Amino acid sequence: MTNFGFNTTTDEVLRGIDLTGTLALVTGASSGLGVETARALVAHGAEVIGAVRNLAKADAATASVREAAESGGGRLELVEVDLANLVSVRTCADLLIATGRSLDLVIANAGVMATPYGLTKDGFETQFGTNVLGHFVLANRLAPLMRAGGRLVMLSSAAHGIADVDLEDPNFERADYERWTAYGRSKTGDALIAVEFDRRHRDRGIRAAAVHPGGIRTELQRHYSREEDEALVASINRTNAAAGLPPFQWKTVEQGAATTLWAAAVADADMIGGQYCEDCHVAPVSDGEGIAGGVRPYAVDPKRAQALWEKAEELVGERF
């Protein structure tokens, strides 16, 4: 199957592909998309390092991954990392560096969504600090381990259309906190990190892309009510109707993780490098507003990406 799209699943994307000898790091491998991403990789022979906040939870949640590894020839191991704590991020990276193993894939899958206002261990707004800065430090610390031909995949979201990053007030110290705005900013941030990472590492044969997995019911929705969920879908449908687009549809977890794996292991590197992908293809740039298809120009703007990178270095106190 090569005509991939909205309904494509992980197994369809990886059909016929042998990933024996591939070493992948997947953050958030203790639920939802992370578990499915790890399962599909090991089922095709890859070794997966699942980077998780709670090792006990992850051990129980990844039974299906271990079963797939046994039949597919892959392997799963778990390491601890709390992306909301940069000491934990750096410790995890140091442990992985000490093993001396080379990475082929880094999949920045973990994240939080629409959380109440809070701060990470390092004093950053929770969603920006976890989704963007935690992955920023981890990916850059691990970049020297990545082999030529390797790829970084950052999980973004159509919610990037809610808001661009705010480089002047990333922690809502001046603006009133609004959790969906904060989430949108963080997902724009993830897309921009992929743009700049790709620019910096493409000469080494390493590429980066951002992906929108689609709407999937996972633990990500735990911070808001079903009523809010329904209101959000209604809002998306109003936007879609005005643009002449079909109504919103949920994806299964298997469909949601497919774009991640397509960008990581199937698509041509030059095609996806520095791009934002959805439904197993590179998304068109769209000037629309809100949560809709395509990618907003500001989320793939190279100058904006470089500015965020420099701001992130300033915030975390580390240059890459």
205 close to 148: Cβ distance less than 8 angstroms? yes
* 20, 184, 299 from 313: Cα distances, Å: 35, 21, 19
Catalytic-labelled residue, pool 183, 224, 276, 298: 183
Buried b (16+ CB within 10 A) or exposed e, 93-114: beebeeeeeebbbbbbbbbbbb
Q: How far apart are CA 187 and CA 70, in angstroms?
A: 35
With residue 149 as reference, give the H or E element that holds it: strand 146-155
Torsion of CA 122, 123, 124, 125, to 10 degrees: 130
pLDDT digits (tens, 9 = 90+) for 92-130: 999 999 999 999 999 999 999 999 999 999 999 999 999
Q: What is the pLDDT of residue 222?
A: 59
Domain 10-221+251-313 class in CATH: alpha beta
Structure tokens at 302: 């190279």
Query: Phi/psi zone of residue 194: left (φ > 0), alpha (ψ -120 to 50 degrees), beta?
Result: alpha
- What local confidence, expressed as pLDDT, does residue 2 receive? 64
Domains of the chain, residue spans? 10-221+251-313
What b/e string do you get for 150-164 counting C-beta neighbours within 10 Å, with b at 16 or more? bbbbbbbbbbbbbbb
CA distance 104 to 47: 10
> What are the mean pLDDT values of the chain's consecutive 10-residue runs (320 residues total)?
87 97 98 97 98 97 97 97 98 97 98 96 98 98 98 97 97 96 98 98 98 80 65 70 72 96 98 98 88 92 98 98
DSSP annotation string for 45-99 = T-EEEEEES-HHHHHHHTHHHHHHHHHHS-EEEEEE--TT-HHHHHHHHHHHHHH
- Identify whether 183 is a catalytic site residue: yes
pLDDT at 154: 98
| Paired tokens of 309 | 């990178």
* CB-based contact 48:54 (threshold 8 Å): no
Q: What's the confidence (pLDDT) of residue 1?
A: 44
Task: Report the pLDDT value the prediction gives residue 234, as an integer from 0 to 100.
Answer: 74
Predicted local confidence at residue 220, as pLDDT: 56
* Cα distance from N-terminal residue to C-terminal residue, the chain: 40
